[in-house]
Amino acid sequence: MIWQPGFTDKTLSRKPGAVQAPRLLIIDEIGYLPFSQEEAKLFFQVIAKRYEKSAMILTSNLPFGQWDQTFAGDAALTSAMLDRILHHSHVVQIKGESYRLRQKRKAGVIAEANPE
């Protein structure tokens, strides 16, 4: 299932298995695009329905403290969501240059990073 325009609360209630059935749900690049208020609430419902029931892998380039900006600036919703996400999670922080950019630098496609 891919999150897409038109995914509504009705879709979630008509097809609850779409988010609950997969043993592992992978959500990549949280924060790349902002969520509207309605989308943020729906995303929270997905997290809440899977909480303590099914595995999830979430990726983001944003620190948790900036997630409220992604979820329509709703700090309360974001806090409740992060509470559920982080409760039983293993957080893996990867520091350093992007793997894709590093490959392009090695190939000479883009300039070397300026050390500061």
Mean of pLDDT values over 8-20: 68
What range does the domain containing 31 cover?
Answer: 2-107
Residue 40 lies in a domain: yes
Would you say how long the chain is, in residues? 116
pTM: 0.76
68 φ/ψ angles, rounded to the nearest 5 degrees: -60, -30
pLDDT for the residue numbered 112? 76
Q: With contact defined as beta carbons under 8 Å apart, do 47 and 84 qualify?
A: yes
Per residue in 18-44, pLDDT tens? 777 899 999 999 999 999 999 999 999
Cα–Cα distance for residue pair 72/38, rounded to 1 Å: 9
More confident residue, 59 or 21: 59
Looking at the domain assignment, is residue 112 inside a domain? no
User: Number of structural domains, the chain?
Assistant: 1
Contact 41, 72 (CB under 8 A): no
Which residue do the tokens 């909480």 mark?
Answer: 51
CATH of residue 101's domain is: 3.40.50.300
